[in-house]
């Protein structure tokens, strides 16, 4: 019964809260806890979200809670842009008290009988607060990163969180323009700068807005082509699990789906059609450690796949590819559905950006909704 109750304690917030993530062990991806930003209410206290964490005692003092909390706090202030973050612990939990204080929270007040354990038992709480102003003083933002402020692009988050990509600027002191290059993409923000535009480090150039268009056209002339891509809404609760399970199971006879491991990585990285599925990972070992994906096999060889093109703290950017002679068999749909389910099981968000209307149609079939069309430039070969 204790094991069952512990599982309920961990999994319930993952199912019920909007901003909740799984805490997993790096070595085997086992989910051992949960952490979230909740829209709770405490009498006579003004705040935006409450940080709470569920972690069984056998996983204490391993650095799991502080590491997870730092990332969620950063998300709260940098992405959600909240002003006041609360957290609390029950009076006798000195371990949580130490972690909370190290995270920069300040003691606020004692509340009697205000908290509830997962089984409904009422508990007293020691309440702590962290203000965005104080957080920013201790965690100053790179001025170049500020140029990308409010751009809801996961590949930017991947770079700023230190996972993948490279940030460059037009001048080291007080930059007015910046570029993030990651894989086949480079993103530009700030004041349009023709000379800086010439440094575009990838074949797909994405400007923050159309004010950059003139700079790119002057910088590259006829060596670039302007086109469109399509952003897809980020809706964590838009997916229908039963429907996705049905799609994932609908493989034609003779085809099987397997999670991508280092052996499949080696096969995938050798082929032109599939290389982008794993190209941002240094090796099969690196992919097994940080990536997540599904390959559809025929006669033991990959013919379609859905994978993490890039990763960020809270999720992945999806890449789906199919060998040309195996298209229009439902393989992309099946492995895409499977990857989404695997991400949801791991507490990751599977972000999608569409390169054309066919990709939009596939995303919508899987449960996504299109947001808007936006301009990009492709370097001509």
The string of pLDDT tens digits covering residues 75-133 is 898 888 899 999 999 888 888 898 999 899 999 999 887 666 656 677 889 999 999 99
Average pLDDT, the chain: 90
Tokens representing 79? 């992405």
pTM for the model? 0.70
Q: Distance between CA 132 and CA 139 in Å, rounded? A: 10
Residue 4 has pLDDT above 50, yes or no: no
Instruction: For residue range 173-204, list pLDDT tens digits in order.
Output: 889 999 999 999 999 999 999 999 999 999 99
Instruction: For residue range 56-80, list pLDDT tens digits in order.
Output: 888 887 888 888 999 899 889 888 8
Q: What count of other Cβ atoms lies within 10 Å of the Cβ of residue 213?
A: 14
Q: Distance between CA 113 and CA 115 in Å, rounded? A: 6
Quick one: CA torsion of 317, 71, 57, 51, rounded to 10 degrees?
Answer: -110
| pLDDT the model gives residue 210 | 92
Average of pLDDT values for 315-336? 97
Average of pLDDT values for 31-54? 86
Per-residue confidence band for 380, with pLDDT thresholds at 50, 70 and 90: very high
Residue 5 has pLDDT above 50, yes or no: no
Higher pLDDT, 20 or 178: 178
Side-chain-side CA neighbours of residue 59 (13 Å) = 20
Residue 360 has pLDDT above 90, yes or no: yes
Higher pLDDT, 87 or 29: 87
Q: Distance between CA 379 and CA 181 in Å, rounded? A: 14
| pLDDT the model gives residue 149 | 86
- Ranking 39-43, 155-159, 300-304 by mean pLDDT, the lowest is 39-43
Residue 155, H or E segment = helix 154-160
Higher pLDDT, 159 or 16: 159
């Amino acid at each position: 019964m204790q094991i069952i109750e512990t599982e309920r304690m961990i999994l319930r917030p993952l199912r019920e809260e909007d901003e909740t993530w799984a805490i997993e062990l790096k070595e085997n991806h086992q989910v051992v806890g949960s952490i979230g930003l909740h829209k709770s209410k405490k009498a006579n206290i003004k705040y935006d979200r409450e940080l709470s964490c569920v972690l069984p005692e056998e996983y204490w003092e391993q650095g799991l809670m502080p590491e997870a909390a730092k990332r969620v706090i950063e998300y709260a202030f940098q992405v959600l842009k909240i002003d006041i973050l609360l957290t609390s612990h029950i009076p006798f939990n000195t371990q949580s008290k130490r972690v909370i204080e190290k995270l920069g929270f300040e003691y606020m007040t004692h509340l009697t009988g205000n908290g509830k354990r997962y089984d409904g038992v009422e508990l007293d709480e020691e309440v702590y607060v962290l203000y965005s102003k104080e957080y920013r003083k201790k965690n100053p933002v790179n001025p170049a990163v500020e140029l990308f402020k409010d751009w809801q692009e996961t590949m930017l988050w991947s770079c700023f969180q230190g996972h993948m990509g490279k940030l460059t600027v037009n001048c080291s002191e007080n930059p007015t323009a910046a570029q993030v290059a990651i894989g086949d993409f480079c993103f530009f923000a700030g004041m349009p700068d023709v000379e800086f535009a010439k440094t575009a480090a990838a074949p797909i150039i994405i400007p923050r807005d159309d004010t950059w268009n003139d700079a790119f056209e002057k910088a590259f002339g006829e060596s670039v082509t302007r086109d469109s891509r399509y952003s897809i809404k980020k809706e964590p609760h838009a997916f229908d699990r039963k429907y996705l399970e049905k799609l994932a199971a609908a493989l034609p006879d003779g085809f099987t789906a397997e999670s991508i491991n280092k052996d499949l990585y080696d096969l995938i990285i050798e082929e032109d059609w599939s290389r982008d599925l794993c190209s941002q990972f240094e090796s099969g070992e690196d992919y097994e450690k940080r990536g997540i994906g599904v390959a559809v096999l025929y006669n033991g060889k990959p013919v379609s796949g859905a994978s993490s093109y890039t990763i960020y703290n809270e999720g992945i950017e999806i890449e789906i590819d199919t060998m040309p002679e195996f298209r229009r068999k439902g393989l992309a749909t099946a492995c895409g559905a499977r990857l989404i389910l695997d991400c949801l099981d791991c507490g990751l968000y599977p972000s999608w950006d569409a390169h054309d209307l066919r990709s939009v149609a596939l995303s919508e079939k899987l449960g996504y909704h299109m947001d808007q069309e936006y301009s990009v430039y492709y370097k001509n070969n």
